[in-house]
Chain A
Amino acid sequence: MELRSSSAEETEAFGARIAGGLIPGDVVTVSGDLGSGKTTFVRGACRALGVEGPVTSPTFTIGHRYSGVVPVAHLDLYRFAGVSSAEWGDLEPYFTDAVCFVEWPEAGVDVLPRARLAVTLSHVDVVSRHIEVREC
């Protein structure tokens, strides 16, 4: 599925749309350059999954957990150069029994569980983004 979003609100709405069929254990990777709307997209998906509080960038905190109608995990591998086995030991608990969104998944390609959906956001212009959602 490919879409064009012309606002942050639309990006959130697309996130909400793909969240419908997700169940605990599902992994969704969310790729894209700085400022392309990854956290915005995840926020929309989280809202659809019943998460009410702030959904913020986990770049520095690495992992967030939210409770919605299902448990939701939100990871960010921006600060990782790769994911060693020791690091995987830290990340793995976040994937247990939760719908898990992973921003900047590239560093974790070798260790991340197989994703159900791979989302890629790219810049079109200041406000517009191209969003591709691929089933894996």
Chain B
Amino acid sequence: MILGIETSCDETAAALVTNDGRVLANVVSSQAKLHARYGGVVPEVASRHHLELLLPAVRQAFDDSGTRLDQVERVAVTQGPGLVGALLIGVSAAKALAWARRLPLVPVNHLHGHVASLYLEPDPVEPPFLCLLASGGHTLLLDVRDRRTLEVLGTTLDDAAGEAFDKGARLLGLGYPGGVEIDRLASDGDPEAFSFPVARVPGLDFSFSGLKTALLYTVRDLGPEETEGLRADLAASYQHAIVRALVERAEAAAQATGAERIAVVGGVASNSELRRSFSNAVFAPPALCTDNAAMIASAARFIEPIPYPQYLALDAFA
């Protein structure tokens, strides 16, 4: 059994996963409730919250699964990328737990973790596949040949897709989380009502910042009253532009690599239009789309662990 710990950004998460990929517990102490207070601005983004929430999350993972610390065989932790101070809380806790139990430690790359959410039971996805990872902080196309490795084929050159949703929601005066709000509103709107161009960048990269600016100027030109009346159409058209860019690039990447399957992970994978728009794609289960520790424990199954006690000097990376 593997204990996974994730503290790279906003979520404090702990999970227990068996060596064959069954999730026994998956605890996420989300701060999203707090975020709602002020249009997406977090009241406090600090490692201190991870420090307060992490051990209770670990304890809850044991309680939820009816397991004990002495059943853990390996400890897995997100080493990066992320906010260094936040990562260090997880890394320090993981080191301490592993050291105290004389266990090996597995440092995990957060992005590999997202991909490894696909390797969990009950419906594990077998590589090779083309992976679209789309979240608030990242938008990547990955060539996944086996469970141990991945190669970056393309990335956003400016804003991430999830960020484009969030800032678009802000421009439309919607609440947080913006992606959910736009998705909800878009179902009542006409995706062809407005034409929002998505920049065509070379290769397999993405660019979403021009799209955000296009929405901004459309809203400005319409004025507050007309914007209010057309919000569903604006949301639908804006969402359509983001989704089209993601789908087109992912399908182009799959064609370039000869991948027969596309897999979608990350928070944006929950978007309903994205789910409808791919003709042939698998999606990570919603609970595993946003940041969580089960995916970190899952990735650790395919990474060489650092034996006790050689990890004491392990550092996080930004």
The answer to whether B170 touches A93, judged by C-beta atoms less than 8 angstroms apart, is no
The answer to whether B160 touches A81, judged by C-beta atoms less than 8 angstroms apart, is no
From the candidates A8, A34, A60, A84, name the one contacting B162 in the complex (CB within 8 A): A60
The answer to whether B47 touches A90, judged by C-beta atoms less than 8 angstroms apart, is yes
Asked whether any CB of chain A lies closer than 8 Å to the CB of B83, the reply is yes
Asked whether any CB of chain A lies closer than 8 Å to the CB of B40, the reply is yes
Q: Which residues of B contact A91 (CB under 8 A)?
A: 85
CB-CB contacts below 8 Å: A93-107 with B: 93-94
A13-21, A23-31, A62-70, A110-118 - the one binding chain B: A62-70
The answer to whether B212 touches A86, judged by C-beta atoms less than 8 angstroms apart, is no
Once bound together, how far apart are the Cα atoms of A91 and B42, in whole Å? 15
With CB as the reference atom, state the residue of chain A lying closest to B35. A79
From the candidates B40, B159, B205, name the one contacting A57 in the complex (CB within 8 A): B159
Once bound together, how far apart are the Cα atoms of A79 and B85, in whole Å? 17
B contacts with A, residue count (CB < 8 A):
41
B100-108, B121-129, B150-158, B182-190 - the one binding chain A: B150-158
Q: Which residues of A contact B159 (CB under 8 A)?
A: 39, 56-57, 59
- Of the listed residues A54, A65, A90, A91, the one surrounded by the most CB atoms of chain B closer than 10 A to its CB is A90
CB distance from B93 to the nearest CB of A (A): 16
Asked whether any CB of chain B lies closer than 8 Å to the CB of A126, the reply is yes
Q: Which residues of A contact B305 (CB under 8 A)?
A: none
From the candidates A34, A60, A126, name the one contacting B136 in the complex (CB within 8 A): A60
Q: Which residues of B contact A60 (CB under 8 A)?
A: 9, 135-137, 160, 162-163, 166
From the candidates A8, A40, A56, A78, name the one contacting B156 in the complex (CB within 8 A): A56
Q: Which residues of A contact B160 (CB under 8 A)?
A: 56-57, 60
Q: Which residues of B contact A34 (CB under 8 A)?
A: 167, 170-171, 212, 216
Once bound together, how far apart are the Cα atoms of A34 and B209, in whole Å? 9
From the candidates B41, B47, B166, name the one contacting A81 in the complex (CB within 8 A): B41
With CB as the reference atom, state the residue of chain A lying closest to B171. A34
The answer to whether A90 touches B162, judged by C-beta atoms less than 8 angstroms apart, is no
CB-CB contacts below 8 Å: A73-90 with B: 78-81, 84, 86-87, 89-90
The answer to whether A62 touches B156, judged by C-beta atoms less than 8 angstroms apart, is no
